[in-house]
A and B are shown apart, each in its own frame.
Chain A
């Protein structure tokens, strides 16, 4: 094993078109799966804090299963399982697999942040004649979402990097392109390093977006 690559810079520059396309695929996978995961996460967070016990149990089982099994297994189950009954592309089975996976972690993030908002806020809303739902939507969730942002940003980054597992079912995202290039040139190290640079760029951009949102929401401090 060697950590030196003579071709690294030329490879990085010459392959930019190919990887730019692959990066778009990675971003699309990340964006779609995160958006769905946020919806799933919010839903299961509400189920977990619900007073209806069966809903809470269901949420617990979901979170237990997701946290207790490897992501690659989940993605393969989605790919082979889903495509048996419903002809969807590799892209969508990975996107749904990632959403299913991240949804559980995001559910816990939302649950924690919702419960961290003091009881006094709910009481203030209710004492003004607001319904429970209205209080949740107008008073609790905006504050909870703000508190959830730092851990959410973290989860987004994990989701972005985990999208590399799509390579195993033939989606041409960054890692897939890198391994194909490596196999073709018998020079894996160069291409793995190139893919690493692209991931670093994407994570950097994602971090910028999250901190911009955090800053925007910090006006009330």
Chain B
């Protein structure tokens, strides 16, 4: 069996009185692409954000690469370097150029020399098809281009896991394809990915496993073919028939 990149046991998270995640058990293996689906409010984004400690769990255990992470003791900045994240609204740094965005963390956090970071950053931008945009500011880019820069920026830290929080939900329909294509390439290279998305086509084609969440719980999970074509749970059937 391959190495567990992420292991979550009995994870609970509440916002005040609102119990968002209820005893979640979840794991991701190396090079696995897991897609989280579910209605809004089902807890899938919160779950993703717990994985890199943008949200702090209330209880439960969280292992990254076999090591249990205790937010009180462990250096979360170090943990986050291994777990890249791409946001729904891109969150590029508007006061920096595209290349500036990509080299910011490598130079400031890892202390890599500027010339080295620029060289690697340029390669990453070529990879996401934006080599010619290196010196533009984010305000000049389309949504799809922004999101591809955001992916390159996260990759610049050489993470072992990539989290995607509805990466195409804020995009015009005609721009969704280019972002999904970039993600597909990444999956092919063997990147471990956890993706929250409403793009069922992407889930079907790229995911190794699809996880359906409802009301803070994982209802069902399985290979996309099984889950989409032969859902076992009534909740899953209802959700899938409402969106497909």
Contact = CB atoms under 8 A, between A and B. Distances in A.
Interface of A: 118, 120-121, 123-131, 134, 138-139, 142-143, 146, 219-221
A128 B109 contact: yes
Contacts of A126: 54, 77, 80
22 contacts: A121-B93, A123-B85, A124-B91, A125-B93, A127-B85, A127-B154, A128-B80, A128-B81, A128-B104, A128-B105, A128-B154, A129-B78, A129-B80, A129-B157, A130-B109, A139-B93, A143-B93, A143-B95, A220-B97, A220-B137, A220-B138, A220-B139
Contact of B89 (A120, A125, A138, A146): A120
B84 interface: yes
Given A120-B89, A127-B52, A128-B154, 8 more contacts: A124-B93, A127-B80, A128-B84, A128-B105, A134-B108, A143-B95, A219-B137, A220-B138
A139 to B, nearest CB: 6
Interface string B138-169: 11000000000010011001000000000000
Contacts of A125: 93, 105
A131 to B, nearest CB: 5
Contacts, number: 70
Interface in B94-122: 94-97, 104-105, 108-109
A114 to B, nearest CB: 14
Nearest to A221: B139
B124 interface: no
B52 A143 contact: no
A143 B109 CA distance: 20
Which size bracket describes the interface of B in this complex?
20 to 34
A127 to B, nearest CB: 4
Q: Which residue of A124, A129, A130 has the most chain B CB atoms within 10 A of its CB atom?
A: A129
A194 B108 CA distance: 53
Interface string B185-227: 0000000000000000000000000000000000000000000
A123 B87 contact: yes
A143 B94 contact: yes
A5 B77 CA distance: 69
Contact of A129 (B54, B87, B92, B105): B105
Contact of B157 (A128, A134, A138, A146): A128
B227 to A, nearest CB: 29
A129 B94 contact: no
Given A134-B108, A138-B108, A220-B139, A127 B93 contact: no
B109 A129 contact: yes
B54 A138 contact: no
A62 to B, nearest CB: 30
Contacts of A127: 52, 54, 80, 83-85, 87, 154
B143 to A, nearest CB: 14
B40 to A, nearest CB: 18
A129 B95 contact: no
A128 B109 CA distance: 8
A57 to B, nearest CB: 25
